[in-house]
A = this chain, B = another copy of it.
Amino acid sequence: MTVERFSVYKCHFREDVAQHSYLTALYAMILADLEGRRGRRVDMEKLLRMALLHDAEESRTGDIHHPFKHQDPAFTKTINDRALQWFNDLMLGLPDSLAHTYIGVRKAEQGYTTEAILVKAADKLEALLWAYEEYLLGNEQVRDARIVEDILSKLDRIRLPSVKAIVAETRKKMKNS
């Protein structure tokens, strides 16, 4: 899990897949609990399993630069299908029948259930907080690549009140900085 994220940028504070996955799981739990308070039903076990496994195969595939991987939907699908296959191979190294459970979790994470959306939101949120810190420290590469703005626009598509609030607050802070 020592693969560094955002490896194409010079960064003040590097972050690897394990650190990212931990914070994603933590944020997913908090977002889910906030949405739960608002009455939305969340299967917490499913959510936490998803968050822990959502990037696990990256420890074997390396850090493919996000805009390179996402240059067009067909190419993204080609890479993702193979990545998923590598996730499966990785799981098949586990004892007993655990592999099938975890492969199921990983597949479900790519769907549109409440749990999957919350994990996606936490995943983006974690990237946002990392990128915003680099932005504040004057990281020119991160600024020029408009990473913060790009993540914010992706978070705009997530219709969860808890996420909306954080996005609005970050935008406000950026204007004043």
Contact = CB atoms under 8 A, between A and B. Distances in A.
Nearest to A26: B52
A65 B18 CA distance: 17
22 contacts: A2-B8, A2-B9, A2-B10, A7-B63, A10-B13, A16-B19, A18-B18, A19-B22, A25-B25, A29-B52, A30-B98, A34-B95, A34-B98, A37-B98, A44-B48, A45-B45, A45-B48, A61-B68, A62-B64, A68-B82, A78-B78, A136-B140
A33 B138 contact: no
Majority SS at the chain A contact face: helix
Interface string A44-74: 1100110010000001111111001001000
A70 to B, nearest CB: 11
A19 B17 CA distance: 9
Given A7-B63, A62-B64, A137-B137, 18 more contacts: A2-B7, A2-B10, A12-B12, A18-B18, A22-B52, A25-B48, A29-B49, A37-B96, A44-B45, A44-B48, A60-B68, A62-B65, A68-B86, A75-B78, A75-B82, A79-B79, A133-B140, A137-B138
Contacts of A2: 7-10, 13
Interface of A: 1-4, 7-10, 12-13, 16, 18-19, 21-23, 25-26, 29-30, 33-34, 37, 44-45, 48-49, 52, 59-65, 68, 71, 75, 78-79, 82, 86, 94-98, 101, 133, 136-140
A1 B137 CA distance: 19
